[in-house]
Amino acid sequence: QVQLQESGPRLVKPSETLSLTCTVSGGSIRDYYWSWIRQPPGEGLEWIGLIYFTGNTYYNSSLRSRVTISVDTSKNQVSLSLHSVTAADTAVYYCARAPAWPTGTKFDYWGPGTLVTVSS
């Protein structure tokens, strides 16, 4: 059974960089697409971006200037960096697996999510 687990600092100061790691266990990171999705408290879901195990990335244009997603196949990890954060970036951040992209994109496995608060 594939499992995803997000990890990283829960509190980030405004203007700094939010950094999270998603560790995949129970399966290989290869041959799949790995996405970051966030959900502000009490709000809906926003897709941030996605990476293939080869390193090809796709970002939401609304965040592209501030986002970097990377992959480490040796560690079965995907990482997210979000630069110059503000309070509006406070959210639960999820990593999720997509078996296909962009045709047939469905997120079939998700991590439990981690709440990141941006505050001084």
Question: What is the contact surface with another protein in residues (CB under 8 A)?
Answer: 44-47, 58, 60-62, 94, 96, 102-108, 110-113
Closest CA to 76 of 34, 107, 112, 115: 34
- Report residue 20 as tokens: 């999270």
The least CB distance from residue 14 to another protein, in Å, is 25
Give the three-state DSSP class for 45: coil
Distance between CA atoms of residues 10 and 114, nearest Å: 7
Q: Which is nearer to another protein, 5 or 19 (CB)?
A: 5
Q: Which is nearer to another protein, 17 or 60 (CB)?
A: 60
The least CB distance from residue 80 to another protein, in Å, is 15
The least CB distance from residue 105 to another protein, in Å, is 4
Q: Do strands 77-82 and 67-72 pair parallel, antiparallel, or not at all (unpaired)?
A: antiparallel
Distance between CA atoms of residues 17 and 25, nearest Å: 26
The least CB distance from residue 59 to another protein, in Å, is 8
Q: Which is nearer to another protein, 71 or 95 (CB)?
A: 95
